[in-house]
Amino acid sequence: MRIIRDLAELIAARREFWASGQTLALVPTMGALHRGHMALVEAAKSHCDAVAVSIFVNPTQFGVNEDLDAYPRPEAQDIAKLESAGVDLLWIPDVPTMYADGFATTVSVSGISDGLCGAARPGHFDGVATVVAKLFNQVRPDAAFFGEKDYQQLAVIRQMARDLDFTHDIIGVPTVRDDDGLALSSRNAYLSAEQRSAAVALPRAMRAAVDAILGGDDVDGALAAAKQAILAAGFHHIDYLELCDAKNLTVLHALTAPARLLAAARLGSTRLIDNLAVVR
């Protein structure tokens, strides 16, 4: 695996993939890699001849009081995992490489970025869209892979790719979960043992709500019951729990279109997100 930290070297390496006729996949990450990230790598390997992974903890997608400094950065372990998964290229830029002095451009995807996590984390999706656009231009992949775990992020990136004529494939990969159903996340490392046991209430309550809605129950009633169960388990705040149109993420109060149930809730200082398909 080639580990590249310099942009000129990355661009030269990219030319070599073109010259060899190999297709190249990109898997953007913030590191602290777990089985969810590795599922993206596996999907990328099955779609393209070669796989590039990026690790960049992007400061512009963190709010002022968020966990940028505390975010885990186990670089040596991440490198070992990617090596053994057969990744071809690892792109690890530093902050000045991505945001040189005088950096002045923001990619902002209106509409789809506004609600849900966008409302709870102002500016977050501008940071995501900007850094992903930069990664797309730097790596020029034939396909890019993102987890459905971050469902709104995937929708924002699909919209950005359409609007800005990034013509490569954007491929969503289903959420990888622990045995008890909790979605894997780098932020699960923040949870104490007690909080980790409580955390499973989030996917359980969401699953019960999906089953109730699919069974014909009133949507708002099913969501109220789920919120009660999540708070009773020890979460102290629910940023949102909403049934949304699966494509444009507008909020639904009845199952009138293929839908997604999306949630963000706080357990201690840890913010967990999850989403489930709601399709008859």
Q: Per rule CB under 6 A, is residue 128 in the interface with ligand AMP? A: no
Minimum distance from residue 130 beta carbon to ligand AMP (Å): 14
User: Catalytic site residues?
Assistant: 37
Q: Per rule CB under 6 A, is residue 176 in the interface with ligand AMP? A: yes
Q: Per rule CB under 6 A, is residue 138 in the interface with ligand AMP? A: no
Non-local CB neighbours of 84 within 8 Å, separated by 6+ positions: none
Q: Per rule CB under 6 A, is residue 156 in the interface with ligand AMP? A: no
Please identify, using beta-carbon distances, which residue of 53 and 219 lies nearer to ligand AMP.
53
Tell me how far CA of residue 29 lies from CA of 33, 38, 263, 271, in angstroms: 8, 10, 21, 18
Query: 25-46 burial by CB neighbour count: b if 16+ within 10 A, else e?
Result: bbbbbbbbbbebbbbbbbbbbe
Minimum distance from residue 39 beta carbon to ligand AMP (Å): 5
Q: Hey, which bits of 73-188 come out as E strands?
A: 89-91, 143-147, 169-173
The owner of tokens 């099955």 is 46
Spatial contact of 249 and 257, defined as CB atoms under 8 Å apart:
no
Minimum distance from residue 9 beta carbon to ligand AMP (Å): 23
Q: Per rule CB under 6 A, is residue 146 in the interface with ligand AMP? A: yes
Please identify, using beta-carbon distances, which residue of 176 and 223 lies nearer to ligand AMP.
176
Residue of the chain from 4, 38, 40, 213 that contacts ligand AMP (CB under 6 A): 40
Spatial contact of 186 and 71, defined as CB atoms under 8 Å apart:
yes
Total binding residues toward ligand AMP, as defined by CB under 6 A: 17
Strand partners, 276: 261
Residue of the chain from 10, 29, 48, 112 that contacts ligand AMP (CB under 6 A): 29
Q: Per rule CB under 6 A, is residue 147 in the interface with ligand AMP? A: yes
Q: Per rule CB under 6 A, is residue 175 in the interface with ligand AMP? A: yes
Non-local CB neighbours of 225 within 8 Å, separated by 6+ positions: 205, 208, 209, 212
Minimum distance from residue 102 beta carbon to ligand AMP (Å): 26
Minimum distance from residue 74 beta carbon to ligand AMP (Å): 12
- Give, rounded to a whole angstrom, the gap between the first and last alpha carbons of the chain: 44
Chain centroid offset of residue 88 CA: 22
Q: Per rule CB under 6 A, is residue 124 in the interface with ligand AMP? A: no
> Which of these ranges, 31-39, 102-110, 190-198, 215-223, lies near ligand AMP under the rule CB under 6 A?
31-39
Q: DSSP secondary-structure letter at 183?
A: B
Q: Per rule CB under 6 A, is residue 39 in the interface with ligand AMP? A: yes
By CB under 6 A, name the binding residues for ligand AMP: 29-30, 36-37, 39-40, 146-147, 149-150, 173, 175-176, 183-186
